[in-house]
Structure 1
């Protein structure tokens, strides 16, 4: 169990049901937050999550004009690079009629260190006068090595305790230069959500959820609610 309100693991039949379950949860939380605070602050990741959201989000009912979209991590590359996470979301942004100014993106043409500092300043404008920002929802990915965001096993950034956003220039997964949210920010979120499909994810899911191995994704223990949404193949050790 997490240290927060709960650790919810949903194992559903197939990928289509993972997409629907994830989209329904996002709809529920976004509608609630927009009704209470007028904005929905969400952090997104790349990888397979992009495909899930492209399929699921166009089918939900929420006021997308009230969304503010951050990136849990981002590669320090041009926005038109295939490695750019923001670039991967541009098609979805068009579909959902999200405006460019609803995305909080990294500054172009500067180093990872400068980009991380700038992203932290941008974030602080939306979360003023707080020790740590409180995101409504962070949609996280899980790599085959158990990394999440750009927080990799054994890396010194796992112990970062002061920065909201940190640079990494020695990522074991290319490209090497990135910026990433840190664990104090991740674990201050109201919802942290993982969604995964496929038998190739099953062993890592077991290592995290059953064995509690000390991997970056295992350290996601938000003060709010931790949600895992898995298909039967990925969640076979949790059935």
Structure 2
């Protein structure tokens, strides 16, 4: 685990995007493509600000969702919808909408999860038996959740499904799909980028008090997990 405390929000974005650039270019050089999973929340604003400044062959990128809310794309809660509006449609980065691997619309959470798992099987190489993403960009909620894996939820113990449905999310909307820990922890690298004093207590609970919160369970078996936090978020680390 690498924990890096930087000056402020802008420095978090700079460090995050330097890591993304390095991972993307290394993956493209070695196998001709870059498979990255993204999350919603503050990560969207970080990427909207930072991605236009990095140098990479964006045409080689394939973008997946670490989790997604099962709502129409034009719903403000749609993670893909936010990326489409703020990143693709603006032309800030040379990415097209079809480079995003989107979730099947108008079906049950179970069917959407199975369909997304099949897309991952087709597009992400396995190593050895599980898909291995080049990079997962994760978020951390105020309760310590990551993806749509919430404290105390039965999905924390899911070991067989790569993508799981959830219909009782404690955070609305209730119906979602999410990557599970076996897939998350098979990634080459996972990154949390955290900014703001409101995150300081949760950062302390994970890194100092060592509480077994969902975000703390991101521990890639053959890769690295990076925590990039600003001074406000990391204020209680010492």
Normalising TM by the smaller chain, what interval?
Answer: over 0.9
The match for 1:27 among 21, 32, 35 is 21
Structure 1 residue 210: Cα displacement: 1.2
Q: Tell whether the 8 Å contact from 2:125 to 2:132 is kept in structure 1 after alignment.
A: no
- d(CA) in 2 for partners of 1:231 and 1:100? 31
Structure 1 residue 32: Cα displacement: 0.7
**Counterpart position of 1:109:** 106
Q: How does 1:51-130 map to 2 (within 5 A)?
A: 51-90=45-84, 91-93=86-88, 94-127=91-124
CA deviation vs aligned residue, 1:148-197 (integer Å, no higher than 9, x gap): 00000000000000000000000000000000000000000011000111
Bigger drift between 130-139 and 227-236 goes to 130-139
**Counterpart position of 1:36:** 30
Structure 1 residue 101: Cα displacement: 2.1
Alignment pair present for 1:171 and 2:169: yes
Q: Which runs of 5+ in 2 are unaligned?
A: none
- d(CA) in 1 for partners of 2:17 and 2:92? 15
Alignment pair present for 1:225 and 2:224: yes
TM-score computed with the length of structure 2 as normaliser: 0.96
**3-state SS of 1:192 partner:** strand
Q: CA RMSD in A?
A: 1.0
TM-score computed with the length of structure 1 as normaliser: 0.95
**3-state SS of 1:65 partner:** helix
The match for 1:215 among 213, 216, 231 is 213
Q: Which runs of 5+ in 1 are unaligned?
A: 1-6
CA deviation vs aligned residue, 1:69-96 (integer Å, no higher than 9, x gap): 0000000000110000001101212321
CA deviation vs aligned residue, 1:52-76 (integer Å, no higher than 9, x gap): 0000000010111100000000000
**3-state SS of 1:89 partner:** helix
Aligned residues: 233
Structure 1 residue 128: Cα displacement: 5.3
CA deviation vs aligned residue, 1:130-153 (integer Å, no higher than 9, x gap): 521000000000000000000000
- d(CA) in 2 for partners of 1:200 and 1:19? 18
